[in-house]
Amino acid sequence: MPRWKLPLCRDQSALPHPKTKFGIERPRWKQRGRFAFGRQALEPADRGHALMYALQIAVMKGRGGILSAVTHYARMFEAVGVRSATLYRGPAPEIVRASGALIEAPASLTSPLFAFSPKRGSVRRAILDTGDGATPDIAIVHSDLALGALKRLFPRVRTAAICHSDKLKRKNRADLIITLNAAQTAAAHASLPNVRSAQIGNPYVAPPPAALPAGDRPRLNFVARFIDTKQPLALINAIARLPSPPALRFVGAGELEMQMREALAKASLEAEFPGWIAAPFSQFHDQDVLVLPSLWEGLPYLLQESLDHGVPIIASDNPGNSAALADGAYGALFPVGDDAALAATIAAALSNLDALKAKAENGRAALRARYGADAFWRALSEELQQVSEPSHV
């Protein structure tokens, strides 16, 4: 059995299932000096009783979907009994640290000159020390520029590069490309036919949310950065078309805020601007509707979290939103950039909000079945097992 072979299932019948802090049952992972993985046993060999070891790599400048993905992957690894650590450089390191082991990445990690950096040895030692001397079995790469450094540090590690954008050029060094929607999958097959790619999305691992409190009237919510890609002005333009505008709230901040306020004033509309809210759905009620008119998305955690809370959704039909909402099965979609269509979709939704809520409930049931810890780990494991040998630099 190759030491990199990944498990498809675990024999848990004789083992207790203690709760993790995420409210997910996690199996006991040690049994008589070897891993209990049912049909396939991963032999510890020279690794003693250490867990399988997964490493995440993320180097970024601002908050966003990558930070969410890092935390959900860490929770997923913990839930299925896989040791993990994150080599990280970016904002809010305390969020990453709260989800698992954090190793500070040097600024040179994404540089082609990292091979000659004096910090190369200390980074490798920190990764080994975090794994109790073990080298990583798999690596989840959120930052393509770090692939070269990773391959030099650990040539035998299996790498999976995540498509947090539609840029694919630098993913040619990965063993597996994880795409988030159908458009990315088609692009990966066309531009990198020699690299395995699979549309398995991102894991969604979170404690079950509390029920939403009662609200007195419908309210539309925009939750995102105030930038052109997210299209907050499109929502204002659409609301201005309605004869009876609903309550409106913009959660976030960004460069377009002044223009948004001016557009609201010009249309004689009012809206709340509470700024960023760390856990926005904690301040939603059962009459709230989420609206995401963005030009582009990969597979937005915002929509997944909205479904998990049972919040009905109106979104543009870009590939990422369409994937998250199963082409309209879990929410209302309208054509990207069409303000008139958005206005009509809002009017239809508010006239029968219970129907849109029912779609969200269907999405809630499907979310964890596809992207929950066990389901996602199974899908990831199966894809990585298809990689016969890791690529080398």
pLDDT tens column, 209-247: 999 999 999 999 999 999 999 999 999 999 999 999 999
pLDDT band for 389, please (50, 70, 90 cuts): low
For the chain, the 3-state helix, strand and coil shares in percent, each to the nearest 5, are: 40, 15, 45
pTM: 0.86
Question: Does residue 292 surpass a pLDDT of 60?
Answer: yes
Read off the pLDDT of each residue in 77-89 and give the average, rounded to a whole number: 96
**30-205+372-385: what CATH class?**
alpha beta
Q: Which pLDDT does position 373 carry in this prediction?
A: 97
Read off the pLDDT of each residue in 266-273 and give the average, rounded to a whole number: 98
CA distance 379 to 199: 10
For the chain, the C-alpha Rg in angstroms (whole number) is 22
- The string of DSSP codes covering 275-311 is E--SSGGGG--TTEEEEE--S--SS-HHHHHHHHTT-
Q: What is the pLDDT of residues 187-210, one digit of tens each?
A: 999 999 999 999 999 999 999 999
Q: Which pLDDT does position 14 carry in this prediction?
A: 36
- CATH architecture of the domain 219-370 equals 3-Layer(aba) Sandwich (3.40)
Compute the half-sphere exposure of residue 25: CA atoms within 13 Å on the CB side of its CA.
5
Question: Does residue 49 surpass a pLDDT of 60?
Answer: no
Question: Which residue spans of the chain are classified as CATH 3.40.50.2000?
Answer: 30-205+372-385, 219-370
pLDDT band for 62, please (50, 70, 90 cuts): confident
What percentage of the chain reaches a pLDDT higher than 70?
85
Q: Which two tokens stand for residue 57?
A: 């790599």
Question: Does residue 274 surpass a pLDDT of 50?
Answer: yes
